[in-house]
Structure 1
Amino acid sequence: MIVPNPPLHILRLMGLAILAGVCFGSGPASAQAIQTSVPHAILIDVETGSVLFEKDADAPVTPASTVKVMTADVVFGELAQGRIKLDDEFTISEHAWRTGGAPARASSMFAALNSRVRVEDLIRGLVIDSGNDAAIALAEGVAGSETAFAGLMMKRGHELGLTRSVFTNPWGKDDPEQKVTPREMTILAAHVIATYPDYYKYFGEKEFTWNKIRQTNRNPLLTMDIGADGLKTGNIDASGFGLVGSAVQNGQRLILALYGATTAKERAEEARKLFLWAFRSFSSKSLFSADETIGYAKVYGGASFEAPLVAGREVKALVPRVGGEKFTGRIVYNGPLIAPVEAGKEVARLKIFRGAVEVLDLPLKTQEAVEVGSLPRRAMGAGLEYVGGLFRKYVGSKIDSKYVANQ
């Protein structure tokens, strides 16, 4: 569907490649093969980006202490940039001690008032003990105040494309404005794991002792035999019991975010159930090679009327080992593109669905440049665009409506 000043456009994949290449059985797409009692959840495979399970994953939820994943990410970024060091010491202010320490009777590393604590120990207090005092001390040490640090959290969120999440404090205090989505928390977790492997290891440490107080890691997955290696839990009255966790088996890493469990037991059991189901139920399938043409974007005013699109890397998805689910796909872009078009420019996105679940959303780039066409060719293109645009608007809307109805 291409019209003058067009909105978002949807084209079917060239040759129905996904339908032909990854179709199991002839029946209609089935519902997800597992259910969960928690109201919000999403489980992704990191290598392929495949969504293996989701349930209301884009709803805004109160993060509670899972927000400390973002706190850690900002601190890790400061370490990576050399602006702070692990051996630097930050002071436990009265605000950090009174609001997040022992007097608050909440999760704390029990750092003493006015003591100076190494950044590395504060990180352990943050991710192992879920210490609110550690979170506040890190925020004040890095940015001068919680408010300023929240600005860094928002900046990092925007850089990572977390468009629906709002960060207002580093420790998970109940604030009606502080909201995240489960989907965006998996994006954040994947970023932390991939970008800061030397610091991510702290999330997996099973215990930490400070001020002669030994505390075990609050992540229940670490004591289960499922390959879990880190990230955070959270719980306040406004959030229920939540978790962002990661596990690895046979080189495959999965990340789960779930929110709204009614008890810690339900949170742990549902998380374990989803991880085990996913590890047992899916295998990897190659859909397109790195340089394979996946589809075309229309070009206005060019020497060619179309620009071939590629992913630039192998496109893989996790598919059910058994079952009858079909994969469908579409290419989404704002178009037509206006010549000249550079080679290697990201201009579209490939969206792949397993049944009603969007399992992949990847950028597509132009495979080759499209130069400005000659005057006669531009005139012919304008005529074809006008006539063809009217036809494609009508046919395209029918295809889109049918597609949406089938979801």
Structure 2
Amino acid sequence: MKNTSFASAVISFAVALISPVSIASPTIIPSPPALSAKGYILMDYNTGKVLVEKNADIRLNPASLTKLMTAYVAGQEMNSGNISKDDVVVVSSNAWAKNFPDSSKMFIEVGTKVSMQDLYRGLIVQSGNDASVAIAEHVAGSQKAFVSLMNSWADKLNLDKTSYTNPHGLDSQGLYSTPRDIAKLGQAIIRDLPDIYPLYSETAFTYNGITQYNRNGLLRDRSLNVDGMKTGYTSGAGYNLATSATNGDMRLISVVMGSKSAKSREMESKQLLSYGFRFFETVKPNNAGEKIADARVWMGNKDNVEVGLDTPVYITLPKSEAGKLTASIEYSKDISAPISKGEVLGKIIYKVQDKEVKQADLVALQNVEEGSWFKRLTDWFKKWLSTWF
């Protein structure tokens, strides 16, 4: 049974969604770019929708993309209060720059004291293998213990085709990941570490009198708004690049693994991002806490309760379909007081034409207390009568 007020709410809401852009001109979506990299993926950050993929689940050598997890683990330890960005770390012989003669490093020296914040920049901007080891030892006491944390977090993030053996990404048997897992890890960094993610946009860092520049050349490409993430290279892995860029409210994450050169990984990443921004759109039809409708309440001290969402809704659509989005509401049952704020009362269903594209729980935005005995009796009688008409 649906009451009259519910039906009118659905109709007005659907019209409100489509009316501002209902005359959008159609867009023809071409085939996605075909790249020479071994594996790649393009994902919408807000929705997790994959727009382009090839060999996205094949196990590949991540090289310095490993440092994304090193940064994530250390960031979670900061969030937990176990370490601080202001910590001073004494560099051990294991983290000495001379242990990494032919690879990227921050140039830290044994016995010197380095702030955790500088080590983070050395890890993210300079891709320092020495910084990776220093961070690992500071967080967990040893590289082995830190690697255990890395793999535990991989499990928690459902990176089921990823395995770590060291904190820096130098070629090692048993070290592997996939473009999809790297993109999901990038999502987690942006979402869970908002204070750390801005470091990925820094283009240079000077330590020990040596200035080094971020190897992600797309940070300096003015045709895209790239604000991270990480490069990687070893002879076994080839050239890797995880990138995040924004265009208005849309954020995309691309991952290219096993490319042929530093230039090609940038060109291929740019092709993916440009394709996504050109032909797709991230639609946000409703915010958290926004009133969507008034639902009829029985037995309460008021006749209606405001309903909406407890989290914002994002939907990825081709630009030609964004103006065709409609929504309808289904309540799970007749709604009776008492009602607690946040209680699930039904669902909202988003469609493009007749195709469902998203569902979300519809929740009460306010408390409704039980009505007086007279109000309850009156509502019981009204409810009984409504079953006959």
Q: Which amino acid is 2:153 matched to?
A: R
Q: Which amino acid is 2:165 matched to?
A: T
CA deviation string 1:18-58 (max 9, x = no partner) = xxx9xxxxxxx998432222121111111222211111101
Determine whether 1:123 maps to 2:120.
Answer: yes
Q: Once the 2 structures are TM-superposed, how far is the Cα of residue 132 of structure 1 from its aligned partner? A: 0.2
DSSP 3-state at the match of 2:135: helix
Of 213, 218, 221, which aligns to 2:218? 221
Q: Which residue of 2 aligns with 1:45?
A: 44
Q: Does structure 1 conserve the Cα–Cα contact (< 8 Å) formed by 2:162 and 2:181?
A: yes
Residues in 1 aligned to 2:244 and 2:141: alpha-carbon distance in whole angstroms: 32
Of 169, 192, 195, which aligns to 2:189? 192
Q: Which amino acid is 1:110 matched to?
A: F
- Which stretch has the larger CA shift, 145-154 or 282-291? 282-291
Residues in 1 aligned to 2:103 and 2:29: alpha-carbon distance in whole angstroms: 44
Q: Once the 2 structures are TM-superposed, how far is the Cα of residue 144 of structure 1 from its aligned partner? A: 1.0
Q: Once the 2 structures are TM-superposed, how far is the Cα of residue 281 of structure 1 from its aligned partner? A: 1.2
Of 158, 168, 171, which aligns to 1:171? 168
Q: Once the 2 structures are TM-superposed, how far is the Cα of residue 158 of structure 1 from its aligned partner? A: 1.2
DSSP 3-state at the match of 1:121: helix
Residues in 2 aligned to 1:316 and 1:199: alpha-carbon distance in whole angstroms: 24
Aligned length: 303
Q: Once the 2 structures are TM-superposed, how far is the Cα of residue 248 of structure 1 from its aligned partner? A: 1.1
Q: Once the 2 structures are TM-superposed, how far is the Cα of residue 321 of structure 1 from its aligned partner? A: 3.1
Of 198, 204, 209, which aligns to 1:207? 204
Percent identity of the aligned residues?
36
Residues in 2 aligned to 1:112 and 1:181: alpha-carbon distance in whole angstroms: 34
Structure 2 vs 1, CA of residues 363 and 191 (structure 1 numbering), >3 Å: closer, same or farther?
Answer: farther
Matches within 5 A, 1:103-114: 104-114=101-111
Matches within 5 A, 1:18-37: 32-37=31-36
Q: Does structure 2 conserve the Cα–Cα contact (< 8 Å) formed by 1:48 and 1:318?
A: yes
Residues in 2 aligned to 1:94 and 1:194: alpha-carbon distance in whole angstroms: 34
- Which stretch has the larger CA shift, 279-288 or 157-166? 279-288
Structure 2 vs 1, CA of residues 251 and 365 (structure 1 numbering), >3 Å: closer, same or farther?
Answer: closer
Q: Once the 2 structures are TM-superposed, how far is the Cα of residue 280 of structure 1 from its aligned partner? A: 1.2
Matches within 5 A, 1:235-246: 235-246=233-244
Q: Which residue of 2 aligns with 1:95?
A: 94
Q: Once the 2 structures are TM-superposed, how far is the Cα of residue 365 of structure 1 from its aligned partner? A: 7.6
Structure 2 vs 1, CA of residues 364 and 92 (structure 1 numbering), >3 Å: closer, same or farther?
Answer: same
Q: Which residue of 2 aligns with 1:264?
A: 262
Q: Does structure 1 conserve the Cα–Cα contact (< 8 Å) formed by 2:225 and 2:245?
A: yes
Determine whether 1:138 maps to 2:135.
Answer: yes
Determine whether 1:71 maps to 2:67.
Answer: no
Q: Which amino acid is 1:238 matched to?
A: G
CA deviation string 1:135-162 (max 9, x = no partner) = 0000011111111000010111111111
Structure 2 vs 1, CA of residues 220 and 288 (structure 1 numbering), >3 Å: closer, same or farther?
Answer: same
Of 252, 277, 296, which aligns to 1:279? 277
CA deviation string 1:221-251 (max 9, x = no partner) = 1111211111211010111100111111212
Structure 2 vs 1, CA of residues 230 and 33 (structure 1 numbering), >3 Å: closer, same or farther?
Answer: closer
Normalising to structure 1: TM-score of the pair? Answer: 0.65
DSSP 3-state at the match of 2:272: helix
Q: Once the 2 structures are TM-superposed, how far is the Cα of residue 84 of structure 1 from its aligned partner? A: 1.0
Q: Which residue of 2 aligns with 1:85?
A: 84
Residues in 1 aligned to 2:359 and 2:214: alpha-carbon distance in whole angstroms: 37
Q: Once the 2 structures are TM-superposed, how far is the Cα of residue 289 of structure 1 from its aligned partner? A: 11
Residues in 2 aligned to 1:101 and 1:366: alpha-carbon distance in whole angstroms: 58
Q: Once the 2 structures are TM-superposed, how far is the Cα of residue 129 of structure 1 from its aligned partner? A: 0.4
Determine whether 1:255 maps to 2:271.
Answer: no
Structure 2 vs 1, CA of residues 50 and 112 (structure 1 numbering), >3 Å: closer, same or farther?
Answer: same
Q: Once the 2 structures are TM-superposed, how far is the Cα of residue 123 of structure 1 from its aligned partner? A: 0.3
Q: Which amino acid is 1:172 matched to?
A: G
Q: Does structure 1 conserve the Cα–Cα contact (< 8 Å) formed by 2:33 and 2:271?
A: no
DSSP 3-state at the match of 2:258: strand
> What is the CA RMSD across the aligned residues, in angstroms?
3.8
Structure 2 vs 1, CA of residues 75 and 103 (structure 1 numbering), >3 Å: closer, same or farther?
Answer: closer
Q: Does structure 1 conserve the Cα–Cα contact (< 8 Å) formed by 2:108 and 2:208?
A: yes
Q: Which runs of 5+ in 2 are unaligned?
A: 1-17, 19-27, 293-308, 322-341, 352-356, 364-389
DSSP 3-state at the match of 2:211: strand
Q: Does structure 2 conserve the Cα–Cα contact (< 8 Å) formed by 1:52 and 1:318?
A: no
Residues in 1 aligned to 2:318 and 2:246: alpha-carbon distance in whole angstroms: 18
Q: Does structure 1 conserve the Cα–Cα contact (< 8 Å) formed by 2:100 and 2:129?
A: no
Q: Does structure 2 conserve the Cα–Cα contact (< 8 Å) formed by 1:79 and 1:85?
A: yes
Q: Which of 1 and 2 has higher RCO (CA within 8 Å, sep 6+)?
A: 1
Structure 2 vs 1, CA of residues 344 and 152 (structure 1 numbering), >3 Å: closer, same or farther?
Answer: farther
Q: Which amino acid is 2:112 matched to?
A: S
Q: Does structure 2 conserve the Cα–Cα contact (< 8 Å) formed by 1:166 and 1:180?
A: yes
Structure 2 vs 1, CA of residues 140 and 314 (structure 1 numbering), >3 Å: closer, same or farther?
Answer: closer
Q: Once the 2 structures are TM-superposed, how far is the Cα of residue 175 of structure 1 from its aligned partner? A: 1.1
Structure 2 vs 1, CA of residues 136 and 261 (structure 1 numbering), >3 Å: closer, same or farther?
Answer: same
Structure 2 vs 1, CA of residues 124 and 317 (structure 1 numbering), >3 Å: closer, same or farther?
Answer: same
Residues in 2 aligned to 1:284 and 1:121: alpha-carbon distance in whole angstroms: 36
Q: Which amino acid is 1:163 matched to?
A: D
Q: Which runs of 5+ in 1 are unaligned?
A: 1-20, 22-28, 293-310, 324-342, 353-359, 368-407
Normalising to structure 2: TM-score of the pair? Answer: 0.68
